Structure 1
């Protein structure tokens, strides 16, 4: 019987969940609440990450099961058998009632407060960037990588068996427990620089990999160039933001954060209205009266027949469901394609034409 289930509930798993189920639950919930997702919630993202950080460590999980969250954080209430034991995690196993428990927060005593920086670090070490943005062709790297710590998976080939810190599956140390995280908390937040990413409507329809070349200042003031890949998801709208930490100019001992903002280029054939696509079909006056057979080519190259045998009023509309823009929050669903008819209505009739109208009407 566990003392509380709060952390298990955050990951959507039961208290008897296996390590694999805990990892799966973390991945699902971290992707759901990541601040760069439409469903993002930074506070929830941080809570989910801390839950995984504790439950994926066998020692901390046992402390949590027996004594609750504050104990697992290292804030031992008076009377607990591991109260005051601040050094040597793993120096002894958890004991039964009356025994001793050697527990460490990794910062030399005293509990570390789990931060948003810790959450992003854990997410990155877990490979979260590729899940979030659909993969970048395996692009990753160590200190020489152009991606810095911009919410991107960083390889660590010099650390066999995974990162240090004792987390199962090689994810330890990503939580930021230790002096490095404390230093990060003391630094001010880096400046955020906004850069526009012009995209065609076709790219936002089908999805595309954009490679943005940026210039930035290095630690010595030198100008550097680097390529930043941005994976566009089908259905993204103008105003969508993608954040890269540590990718801008080097300033006050740290790099600026770059926030890319999606903008939409005008399209010669279509305009976007939310999730719908609008296009105009030109008709002659004769076609508007007698009918027509035409084709509309969609942004992904499909040819949609547009036929009519009855009269067509100028400015009238025809709607084609599920042929509009993909809906990014509802994969597999699309908005509507709306065709507006522009009739070349005659501004002048000669005598013969007037007589023909009189005879017919």
Structure 2
């Protein structure tokens, strides 16, 4: 009886990828495996055929010979039938669970990368705008110097875990599936420590504090993060350390508020200067600056000082300083000052609309409202 074409048997095209062939084989193995079809000779035969096809098409050399010469090119090299144990149902899908539960290192033993750490760095607005270098002190788990991170007492070595045989993984049968998970005795490392290091108690890491110098670029703002590679927690049993993320938090300033690259501040202004105009000295982060006030300035009016804001940490563009004038009403006036103001007010009789345009327009709006 002529053998069925291997590609047709698995239900894949002749140009199918290795992944497609593997997926097709798994699907058939799941359906026809003898463990799922006890005492079913037909299912067992189908399983053997699928296994034979897969063993040829999964091997690049055998597949090339099969593509050129057909079954004659691979006779004697394909499948030896169903084998329980190493070739059983659990081994077919074992690599699937390895992908899920993972294994780092020989035999699947897992050495875990150290955890990333986060540190909040409080800066003044001046420090954030100009940039600075900050020294920070952080608690970390560092590799134990006594045992060089092995966890074993100096002069001894970890031994192979007797539970998992050094694989770091154990298999648990769940119905038709065999699920792999980290060995509970060695915690996935594949090694056991018979004589723990006295300093780290077998963990391979110890807690300590270290001081780091952090270079903060000019222009950072609240929420920006600076990553320090390899300055996080130490990895387990020699695995690489994690990273340290320094998160910037800018303190509230007494004079300025920040929005992006622009700074804002309120500037008190006397009503005489607001009426007649003049010059006003205002603060900036780079020193003092002179702000020209035109006559007739109203309260709440904003004036822009170009390039007196923050230089962007990303683009290098400079923001502006926005000064909002707040006109102050004089208080605690003397009798003479009050008399002069009354005399001044009398000069406005009949000309209020000329000198107070907003007041007149407001009165007109009120009248329309009540009509």
Please say whether Structure 1 and Structure 2 have the same fold, judged by a TM-score greater than 0.5.
no
- The structure whose RCO (Cα within 8 Å, separation 6+) is larger is 2
TM range (shorter): 0.3 to 0.5
